A and B are shown apart, each in its own frame.
Chain A
């Protein structure tokens, strides 16, 4: 199974400042169809997960442009350009390239 490792596990951030989360996979996430099925999800307290980014860098409908994704192969990054209060929650990377699909451990973003 592909292991997804996120760093850091906790990220205290000042409002208006940037935040960055790294996700590393134990194998390349490039699918045989040429796509890389790496997603980022946000889970606010008490809420279900919500898709932010799919296929490394594509923002899902309604996601603010302060969220961006990048990376390739086995190394990926989610960046929040300027953290707002509503961004508090846990962020997960997930690979959909190989079954079983797997999630990172989650990174808790909180306001300092």
Chain B
């Protein structure tokens, strides 16, 4: 069965960096595009970034462009989100999701808290 497990969240000071990981199993990871989506406490869903199956295309939300970098290692079945210059408004649960005509499988999420 498809499993997506995020890790790497935690408490970080404003301006610092954090790298999230999403370990995938149960499907051929290298065949699918992948998303990062976040949800601030008590708020709705916000799409963050997408990477194509082979890593050749990547796209970002305006709110994170230039600060966040999505990447993947298909040999390790893992998706990453490098987050730099973090701000208080980046505080959220970050989910990774597999894409097939829609975000069809989601992980449980990892909480990132940006606070001094």
Which of B59, B99, B102 has most chain A Cβ within 10 Å?
Answer: B102
Cα distance, A41 to B95, chains bound together (Å): 14
B36-67 to A contact mask, C-beta < 8 Å, 1/0: 01000000111100100000000111100000
Evaluate contact between A103 and B60: CB separation under 8 angstroms: no
In the assembled complex, the CB of B66 is this many whole angstroms from the nearest CB of chain A, namely 14
Evaluate contact between A41 and B103: CB separation under 8 angstroms: yes
**Known A100-B60, A101-B50; contact A55-B108, beta-carbon cutoff 8 A:** no
Checking B45, B50, B104 against A51 with a beta-carbon cut-off of 8 angstroms, the contacting residue is B104
Evaluate contact between A100 and B44: CB separation under 8 angstroms: no
B residues less than 8 Å from A100 (CB atoms): 47, 59-62
**Known A49-B95, A92-B44, A100-B59; contact A54-B104, beta-carbon cutoff 8 A:** yes
Chain A interface size band reads 20 to 34
Q: Is B106 an interface residue (CB 8 A)?
A: yes
Chain B interface size band reads 20 to 34
In the assembled complex, the CB of A55 is this many whole angstroms from the nearest CB of chain B, namely 5
Checking A35, A99, A103 against B45 with a beta-carbon cut-off of 8 angstroms, the contacting residue is A103
Cα distance, A90 to B45, chains bound together (Å): 11
A38-80 to B contact mask, C-beta < 8 Å, 1/0: 0101010000111101110010100000000000000000000
In the assembled complex, the CB of A105 is this many whole angstroms from the nearest CB of chain B, namely 6
Find residues 8-61 in chain A having any chain B CB closer than 8 Å to their own CB.
Answer: 35, 37, 39, 41, 43, 48-51, 53-55, 58, 60
B residues less than 8 Å from A105 (CB atoms): 44
A residues less than 8 Å from B101 (CB atoms): 35, 37, 54-55, 58, 96
In the assembled complex, the CB of A74 is this many whole angstroms from the nearest CB of chain B, namely 18
Find residues 70-112 in chain A having any chain B CB closer than 8 Å to their own CB.
Answer: 90, 92, 94, 96, 99-106
| Seed contacts A48-B106, A51-B103, A55-B102; 13 additional CB < 8 Å A-B pairs | A41-B103, A48-B108, A49-B37, A49-B106, A51-B102, A51-B104, A54-B101, A96-B102, A96-B103, A100-B59, A101-B50, A103-B45, A106-B45
